[in-house]
Structure 1
Amino acid sequence: MTAISADTNNNQNISTSIECANLLSLTPDKLARRPTTIEETGLSTQLLIQLLIKHIQELNIATIRDLSAALALSGGIVQSLMDIAKDLSWIENKQSASNGQMRYALSGIGEKEAELAFSHNGYVGPAPVPLIQYVSVVTQQTSRHTQITKQRMNATFKDLMFSEELTSAIGPALNSTKPILIYGKPGVGKSYLCRNLNKLFKDDVLIPSAIEINNNIIQVYDPQVHDLADCTSSEDSETLFNLDQGHDPRWYLCHRPLLVTGGELTESMLEVNFDPTSKTYKAPLQMKANNGILLLDDLGRQKITPVELFNRWIIPLEERRDFLFLPNGVHFEIPFELILLFSTNLEPAALVDEAFLRRLGYKIEFNPLTLSNYQTLWFNVCADLKLSCTTETFNYLINTHHLVTKKPFLPCFPSDLLSIVSDQIKFNELDPEVDNQLIDTAWKHYFVS
C-alpha cells in the first residue's frame, strides 16, 4: 500500500522517501520518471481500471491514443488495462476509425461498473500519483535550495521602489524556515511586494494532477493557482507513446505557485474538501501552495481567528509537515514545504499573544516611501500610462495636497491618482499632459473630505 496512514510506520515512510529523493538530481525527468508498467505507476490495477472505464463512458467511444492522452499514461500501460477489462467483459470492440485505429466502448456490464465507480469517486482526469512519490518530489523541489542574496533582491526589485532597509529585512527572512509577518498601514505595498516575491525564484516545479491515498484520489492541480511553464504544452498521444522523452505526464511543469487568500479564508479551506455533488476530493490551500508561496492577506479579517489559525498550524510551522484527514477516516502526512507570509493592517500585538508571535520568526514593518522614491514611482507610472508631467506639476501635487493634508507618500497613490487623470483626459479629449487642474480633480475624487 502506498498511502501513509497514522501508524508507527508514518515517520519511517516519510524519512525513507526523503532519503531516497536526495539521491536524485532535480531535473523533471529524473524527479518523476515515466512509468512503463502498471506496477511502476505505484497505483493498484483496480483503481486504474475504474479510472479507465470512467474515461470511456465520458468519451462514449475511444481509441488507445484517446485513453493514453486522457490518463496521461503510455499506450503500453493502457493496452494492458484494456486487456484486463476485456477479460472482465467490460469493454467491447467497435468498428475501426478511418485511420485504422481500433475503437472501444463499454459493454452493458461495463456501463454498470462505470456508474458504480462514479458513485464512489467522481474524479475523471489524468491518473494520480501515489502519496509517497508526491512526498519525495515536493521535498526535493523545496525553494530552500535557492539562496536569497542582497544582489538577487536588488536585481529583482530594482523597479519596485522599495527601500533598501525593507528589502534587506525581507531577504534574510526568505532564507529562514520561519513564517513571516508583514504589517503596516493600508497602501504601503505589503501585498504588492508579496505578489512579486516569486520573481526571486527562476525555476519551475512539478505539480501532480492528483494524488492517491488508499485508493482515494485528491485533486491537486488547480489552473487558477498553478501557472504552466512556457515550455509546457498538453501531452499529445505521440509523446505519450514515446517513453524516452520528458517526465511522467501525470505531473504538470509549472512556475512556483503563489496562492493569495484574504478575508474569505475559512477553517474548512485548510482541510481536504469533499464536493458531494461531483464526489471529488480537493486539496487544501497549503497543499496547492507547496513548493511556492502562500500569502494570507488581511490577517485578522478572516472568519477564522488568528489564534485558531495558528493553533491549526503549530506543528506545520515548527516541523514543516502537516496532517490531513479524509471524511472516510483515512489520515495522512504531507510536507509543509512553502514560504508562509501573513500580511495585516493591524498591530501584531492585537492579533495574538507573545507566544504565537515568537513562532512567526520575522515581523517586518512597511512604511511609506521617501519623497525621492515617491517621485520616481510617479514618473514611472506616467510613462506606463503614456502621460507627460513636469517637475513643477509634481511639486504642486506635493506642496498643495500632500503637505497640506499630511497624506503620507504611499506607493498606491501614483497609480490611483494618475488613473483618474487619464480617465479625465480621455473623456475631455485633452492632450496627454498632467496639469494642476487635473491633479486637483483627481485628488478631490480619490479622497473623502
Structure 2
Amino acid sequence: MLQNNQQASLYQVEPSPRDVSPHAAVARRPTTIAETGLSESLLLDLLTKHLFTDGVLTREQLANKMGITGGILQGLLDTAKKLAWIENRQTTADGQMRYALSMAGDIHAKQAFAKNGYLGLAPVPLQQYTPICRQQSSRANPVTFEMLQQGLKALVLPEDLLYKIGPAMNSSRPVLIYGPPGTGKSYLCRHLNLALGDDVLIPYALAIGNEIIQVFDPELHHQVDLTENHNPLDLAQGHDPRWLRCHRPLRITGGELTAEMLEVRFDPYSRTYMAPLQLKANNGILLLDDLGRQRISAKQLFNRWIIPMEERRDFLGLQSGEHFEIPFELILLFSTNLDPKELVDEAFLRRLGYKIHFDALNEMLYRQIWFRVCEELQLHCPEEVFQYLLREYHQRCNKPLIPCYPRDLLGIISDQMSFMKLEPEVTRSLIDSAWSIYFV
C-alpha cells in the first residue's frame, strides 16, 4: 500500500493562522473521529486489517498507513485494547511502542476482510469530498491567454487556435476537437493540463456509508514532490493526510473505452471497489480520444452523460443497489478525425458547446516544426532540401502540411542514418526514401 511521506504525525493540534497553507485550509486535519466523518467501527476494521497484513507496527507506522492523526489513533488503540483485539509488543530501540493482533483481533480482522477487502488510507466520506472537489475546480482560476501560451510553449500552434482553446477550458461545457488525422488534436490535448499549472488534493478513497471506493491511481495521479523546509514534527502544518497532493490529473482513454469503465467496478475476489474514470479525473482533464472508435458507441456514451455534461453531477451505484451523487467537476474533451455529424445528431452536438476544427498548417509553422525536430534529433537539413520536400512532394502530390509529418519523416531518416552509418545531414535521396516508406 502507498505510504505518504507527509503523513508522519503522532499528535494533533489546531493549525495556527501563520501555518495554514492553501491546501490545509481546504482540507484541515481532523482532531476527532467525528471530524473524520467516519464511524469508529470502520476505522477499527481498517486498523486491524493493517495489523493483520503487517504483523507488528508502531503507532507512527499505523498513522502513516491509515492517514489519521495520533490523537485519533490513540483512541482507536485504547478501544481495541479494551476489546482485547491488540497486544503490546517489545518497544523499538528508540522507545516506540509496537502493536500486534491478539487471537481475537486476528479473527476480527479476517471478518473485516470478508466484508470489505480495502486496505489503505482511511477514506474520505462523500459529504466531505463533494464541497472540496467543487472548491478545487479549475474554473475557480480561469485560464488566460498568457497561461495557455506559457503552458504550450513547447508546441507550434496557430495563434488563433489558442483563442479558441482557452475560452473552452474556462467553460463548463464539453469540447469537441475534430479534423483530419495527424493535425495535432491528441497531441495538444495531452499537454493542456500544463496550462493549468497548479495542484489539487485527491482522496485516496471515498466512503459511501460503510463501503469504500479507491480513487487514487498512481498511474494517473502524480504526487507533488514536496520540498518545504519545515520540521516534520511541527504538527501545526499540513492538510488532512487522507488527501494526497497531486498535479491536476489528465486521464486519456481511446478505443479501449467500455460502458463498464464509466461505473464503479467491484472485484468479487478482492472484495474491493474501484472508481470509474470520470471520478478519477475530477479536478483535472478527461480526454476521450478517437471518438467513434470506442467499444461503446458515441450515442450510448452521450446518453450516459447527458446529465453530467449539463448539470456537472453524476450518479453512480454500488453492488448493493445503493446509488449516490458525485461531482462531475472536470474539463471534458472529445477528439475525433471522423465527421461529427456521422457520430451523433444535432441535439448532441449542441450540448457539446465548443466545436474546434484542426487543419493543416501554413508553410511558416510547418517549417518551424521541421527544423525544431531536426534540432531534437541532431540532424542538419539544408534549406534547399526542405524546399525540395515542399516542391516535389507536398505540392506535386497535393499533400497538406500536416503537423505529424516532420517528426514521422525525420524519424525514418534518422533510422536510415543509424543503419547505414551516414552523416547526420538530410539529403534529397533520404527524403525520397522516407516519403516512399511512409506513404502508401
* TM class by smaller structure: over 0.9
- 1:189 paired with 2:184, answer yes
Task: Name 1:381's counterpart in structure 2.
Answer: 373
Task: Name 1:285's counterpart in structure 2.
Answer: 277
- 1:318 paired with 2:313, answer no
Q: List per-residue Cα deviations over 1:398-448 (Å, max 9, x = no partner).
A: 112222222211111111111111111122222211111221221122122
Q: List per-residue Cα deviations over 1:46-66 (Å, max 9, x = no partner).
A: 000000000001111111111
* Structure-to-structure mapping, 1:12-31, within 5 angstroms: 27-31=22-26
Residues 294 and 232 of structure 1: CA distance in aligned 2, closer, same or farther (over 3 Å): farther
* Structure-to-structure mapping, 1:87-166, within 5 angstroms: 87-166=82-161
SS at match of 2:104: helix
Residues 330 and 103 of structure 1: CA distance in aligned 2, closer, same or farther (over 3 Å): same
SS at match of 2:287: strand
- 1:180 paired with 2:172, answer no
Task: Name 2:8's counterpart in structure 1.
Answer: none
- 1:308 paired with 2:300, answer yes
8 Å CA contact retained: 1:206, 1:252: yes
Distance in 1 (alpha carbons) for counterparts of 2:155 and 2:63: 46
Task: Name 2:320's counterpart in structure 1.
Answer: 328
Q: What letter matches 1:281 in structure 2?
A: Y
SS at match of 2:269: coil
Q: What letter matches 2:241 in structure 1?
A: P
Aligned residue among 341, 363, 367 for 1:349: 341
Shift of residue 156 of structure 1? 3.3
Q: List per-residue Cα deviations over 1:296-350 (Å, max 9, x = no partner).
A: 0111111111111111111111110111111112211111110101111110110
Distance in 2 (alpha carbons) for counterparts of 1:373 and 1:398: 13
Task: Name 2:60's counterpart in structure 1.
Answer: 65
SS at match of 1:294: strand
Task: Name 1:21's counterpart in structure 2.
Answer: none
- 1:415 paired with 2:410, answer no
Aligned residue among 42, 45, 65 for 1:47: 42
* Structure-to-structure mapping, 1:190-339, within 5 angstroms: 190-231=185-226, 239=232, 242-339=234-331
Q: What letter matches 1:131 in structure 2?
A: L
Shift of residue 78 of structure 1? 1.4
Q: What letter matches 1:371 in structure 2?
A: E
8 Å CA contact retained: 1:26, 1:141: no
Distance in 2 (alpha carbons) for counterparts of 1:375 and 1:316: 42
**Consecutive unaligned residues in structure 2, runs of 5 or more:** 1-19
Distance in 2 (alpha carbons) for counterparts of 1:447 and 1:124: 52
8 Å CA contact retained: 2:223, 2:245: yes
Distance in 1 (alpha carbons) for counterparts of 2:97 and 2:146: 59
Q: What letter matches 1:139 in structure 2?
A: R
Hey, which bits of structure 1, 4+ residues long, moved more than 6 A?
Answer: none
Distance in 2 (alpha carbons) for counterparts of 1:186 and 1:220: 33
8 Å CA contact retained: 2:147, 2:196: no
Q: What letter matches 1:223 in structure 2?
A: P
Sequence identity (%): 58
Normalized against structure 1, the TM-score is what?
0.90
Shift of residue 116 of structure 1? 0.8
8 Å CA contact retained: 2:258, 2:296: yes
Distance in 2 (alpha carbons) for counterparts of 1:187 and 1:383: 21
8 Å CA contact retained: 1:34, 1:243: no
Shift of residue 219 of structure 1? 0.5
Task: Name 1:169's counterpart in structure 2.
Answer: 164
Task: Name 1:86's counterpart in structure 2.
Answer: 81
Distance in 2 (alpha carbons) for counterparts of 1:340 and 1:102: 49
Distance in 2 (alpha carbons) for counterparts of 1:218 and 1:334: 12
**Consecutive unaligned residues in structure 1, runs of 5 or more:** 1-24
Shift of residue 159 of structure 1? 4.0
Task: Name 1:372's counterpart in structure 2.
Answer: 364
Normalized against structure 2, the TM-score is what?
0.92
Aligned residue among 394, 397, 401 for 1:402: 394
Distance in 2 (alpha carbons) for counterparts of 1:223 and 1:153: 26
Structure 1 vs Structure 2 CA RMSD: 1.7
Shift of residue 155 of structure 1? 3.4
Distance in 2 (alpha carbons) for counterparts of 1:297 and 1:47: 39
SS at match of 2:391: helix
